[in-house]
Amino acid sequence: MPSATTLVVKLTAGAEEAERANQALTVAATALASGVDVSLWLTGEAAWLAVPGRAAELSLPLAAPAEDLLETLLAGGSVTVCSQCAARRDLTEAGLLPGVTIRGAAAFVEEILRPDTQALVY
């Protein structure tokens, strides 16, 4: 059975659920370091992580800093904020970290339905 060459991680939690959020970022960054193409989608309260300085507020003992993990993902993968989630929080691409895009559900569906893609939701 062939393995996935792309991993799409959808993160639905932010600093209010630090353990779940950090786990998603850790898995995504680990996959990227393993040579897998990674696309991270920030939805719900996770959308705030794309705002400069906000990932640093996510603190979890014995875990890699969320800010560092997100920086790694921005450098080697793609990071997207859900368009509805961004609109509900009055977020625009101009107010997000460089490299973060805002896209809608159709783009998410397109990504997860590609061959050799695995999707995880946290």
| CA–CA distances in Å: residue 109 to residues 59, 86, 122 | 31, 18, 16
Contact 79, 70 (CB under 8 A): yes
Average pLDDT over residues 94-106: 98
Which positions ≥6 away from 72 have C-beta within 8 Å?
Answer: 29, 32, 33
pLDDT at 1 over 90: no
Give the chain's domains with CATH numbers: 6-121 (3.40.1260.10)
Sequence-separated (6 or more) residues with CB below 8 Å from residue 2: 116
Distance CA 18, CA 109 (A): 26
Residue range 34-62: average pLDDT? 96
Residue 3 has pLDDT above 70, yes or no: no
18-33 helix and 66-76 helix, angle to the nearest 10 degrees:
40
104 pLDDT above the threshold of 60:
yes
What's the angle, vertex CA 110, arms to CA 106 and CA 38, rounded to 5? 115
Quick: pLDDT tens for 63-85.
999 999 999 999 999 999 999 99
Phi, psi of 98 (to 5 degrees): -55, 135
